[in-house]
């Protein structure tokens, strides 16, 4: 990695924050990148929040004016449906708003062209029943992401991949996936910040593979899910650091 890289795709959970806790140094790292003229995208597999809500959370962690730099798995999932398609969405406001902006017709039950599952704390048996029956009726099955867990201040919590697995088991169908490390969110991110850069994350299995999909270098931080005891990892990182600030200082010589 060198200072000539001008695009930085940054994961959020485990890189910028852990639940309600700011990863130490992450606001300073983003400020250094912006001041050096590097393009930044905050790329999250969570479909929980809208871009404005993600920006508000970033602001609460000391990173301001970020809404235009946010890319979410919900935004990527919305690119996988056409305007006016009937979509049964199992998810939170981030997914529902992205689909509404796309022009999709949101339905809560019955026939649909697509079923999209994103993280929601309201997931229950009826959610699984409605999704399964729509898929059996011919709807395409789309997952915002397959992350089985995500890091919070008090440890790991179940992620969207757990919800998707339940629907997949019931429906007998595996989903197309919008989020990291797959092509839909890669296309959105490249369109925002460019064709060459570095993806910084805490998960080799999503962030590392996403870097490969993007054609970017992979920067692995040890401030989230992955720790020293997990090495070696695949894919092999281009660079490893304790946290984002360590990677940025190394790149910029700061």
Nearest to 192 by CA among 42, 52, 86: 42
Decide if 207 is catalytic: no
192 burial (CB, 10 Å; 0-12 / 13-18 / 19+) is middle
* CB atoms closer than 10 angstroms to residue 90: 26
Report d(CA 219, CA 175) in Å as an integer.
Answer: 28
C-alpha to C-alpha distance for 177 and 46, rounded to whole angstroms: 13
202 counts as catalytic: no
Nearest to 221 by CA among 13, 7, 14, 58: 14
d(CA 9, CA 23): 17
Catalytic (active-site) positions: 11, 13
């Amino acid at each position: 990695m060198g200072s000539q890289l001008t695009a930085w795709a940054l994961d959020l959970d485990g890189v910028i924050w852990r639940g309600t806790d700011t990863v130490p140094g992450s606001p300073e790292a983003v400020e250094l990148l912006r001041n050096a003229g590097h393009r930044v995208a905050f790329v999250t597999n969570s479909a929980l929040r809208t871009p404005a809500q993600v920006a508000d959370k970033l602001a609460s962690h000391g990173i301001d004016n970020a809404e235009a730099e946010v890319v979410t798995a919900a935004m990527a999932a919305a690119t996988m449906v056409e305007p006016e398609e009937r979509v049964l969405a199992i998810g939170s406001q981030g997914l529902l708003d992205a689909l509404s902006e796309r022009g999709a017709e949101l339905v809560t039950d019955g026939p649909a062209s697509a079923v999209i599952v994103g993280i929601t704390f309201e997931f229950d048996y009826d959610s699984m029943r409605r999704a399964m029956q729509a898929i059996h009726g011919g709807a395409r099955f789309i997952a915002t992401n397959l992350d089985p867990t995500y890091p919070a201040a008090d440890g790991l919590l179940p992620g969207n991949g757990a919800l998707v697995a339940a629907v997949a088991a019931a429906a007998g169908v595996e989903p197309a996936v919008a989020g990291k490390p797959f092509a839909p969110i890669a296309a959105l991110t490249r369109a925002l910040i460019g064709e060459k850069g570095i993806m910084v994350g805490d998960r080799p299995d999503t962030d590392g593979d996403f870097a490969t999909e993007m054609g970017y270098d992979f920067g692995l931080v040890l401030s989230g899910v992955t720790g020293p005891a997990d090495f070696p990892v695949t894919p092999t990182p281009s660079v490893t650091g304790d946290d984002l600030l360590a990677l940025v200082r190394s790149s910029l010589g700061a």
